[in-house]
Amino acid sequence: MIKIRIPATSANLGAGFDSLGLAVTLYNTVYMEQAEQTDIASLDEKPVPAGKDNLIYLSAQKVYDLCGKPLSGLHIRQVNRIPMTRGLGSSSACIIAGITGANELLGRPFSPDELVNLAAEIEGHPDNTTPALLGGIVTSVFDGDKVFWVKQELHAGLYFYAIIPNFEMKTEKARSILPKQIDFSDAVYNLSRAALFSSSLLQGKYENLQIAVHDRLHQPYRLSMIPKGREVMEECYHFGAYAAYMSGAGPTIMAIVDEQKQFFGLHMRERLNEMGLQGWHLERLNIDNAGTMVYNEA
């Protein structure tokens, strides 16, 4: 039996659409072993697909197929702390669990780089899958075949507050509303801010982050699908966040906050309640620099 711990991820980071992402300290745990029959269940109250259409199983199957090894079945047990379809990388976590688990069960035929490539191929873009596997803040470019990436660790006095709405936003839907073409000036607007974001975060020039998270590729379209989303972002700045952006495809809003701002969470919680958003959930997270951990259990 192996145990896999996979971090949640926050992708795009504003302007870095399909490229930037970072891992945070909220984890799914998956237990996996090879078996004659497939048996998949949740260890918490969240239901999961119990058949071979389960994304963890499908991803594991891919590794077995690539190795030319038959797979009769898997026993899988899941603890899903990462909320599903909320923009925190829950599907990437399943993909990473499946491929790293299968890779371990087969004696590690694939290198970490090969797993990065395979995960991006399954997901279609690398901005959640790469940090979910490697941790830290990661810049990734997927050329359709291979991922070119740089991981950087962040050791800063920052909190990432995930402000999680009580409704889901499916990535396919959130991608389908995006424009097919954009203006040259909008492309420049985004690429300059994406570059500014990672260098400012890593160099501690946090005063740049508010400008760096602006974008013209996806947030304006997606925010309009989140009732009170813009107001929630404004409140994040009101209570002193360095930046607030839509995490991944949304609907979660992520606020980057100095750890000295001890009352940010309390103020935001009160404000959400005043706005009638009692069902929204708030998680105070740190960056996860370790990435996915695999343990062999007796």
Token output for 90: 């829950």
Count of residues in the chain:
298
Contact status: 175 vs ligand HSE (CB under 6 A): yes
CA distance 167 to 84: 10
Contact status: 100 vs ligand HSE (CB under 6 A): no
Question: Scanning residues 133 to 172, which ones bind ligand HSE (CB under 6 A)?
Answer: 171
Closest by alpha carbon to 275, among 159, 174, 166? 166
> What percent of the chain is helix, strand and coil (3-state, nearest 5)?
35, 25, 40
Span of 59-67, 122-130, 228-236, 279-287 interacting with ligand HSE by CB under 6 A:
122-130
The label of the residue with tokens 């609907």 reads 251
From the CB of residue 265, how many other CB atoms can be counted at a distance below 10 Å?
A: 18
CA distance 86 to 89: 8
The smaller minimum CB distance to ligand HSE, of residues 102 and 194, is found at 194
Contact status: 228 vs ligand HSE (CB under 6 A): no
Nearest approach, Cβ of residue 130 and ligand HSE (Å): 11
Around 135, how many Cα atoms within 13 Å sit in the side-chain half-sphere?
16
Peptide bond preceding 109: is omega within 30 degrees of 0, i.e. cis?
no
Compute how many residues bind ligand HSE; rule: CB under 6 A. 13
Nearest approach, Cβ of residue 35 and ligand HSE (Å): 31
Pick the binder of ligand HSE from 29, 103, 128, 292 (CB under 6 A).
128
The smaller minimum CB distance to ligand HSE, of residues 4 and 174, is found at 174
State the virtual CA torsion across 189, 135, 258, 242 in degrees, nearest 10. 10
The smaller minimum CB distance to ligand HSE, of residues 12 and 34, is found at 12
The smaller minimum CB distance to ligand HSE, of residues 175 and 230, is found at 175
Spell out, one character per residue from 196 to 225, where the chain touches ligand HSE: x when CB under 6 A holds, - when not: ----------------------x-------
The smaller minimum CB distance to ligand HSE, of residues 71 and 95, is found at 95
- Listed in sequence order, the residues at least 6 apart from 172 whose beta carbon sits closer than 8 Å to its beta carbon are none
From the CB of residue 37, how many other CB atoms can be counted at a distance below 10 Å?
A: 8
Pick the binder of ligand HSE from 7, 15, 17, 118 (CB under 6 A).
17
The smaller minimum CB distance to ligand HSE, of residues 217 and 272, is found at 217
Contact residues toward ligand HSE (CB under 6 A) are 11-12, 17-18, 125, 127-128, 171, 174-175, 218, 248-249
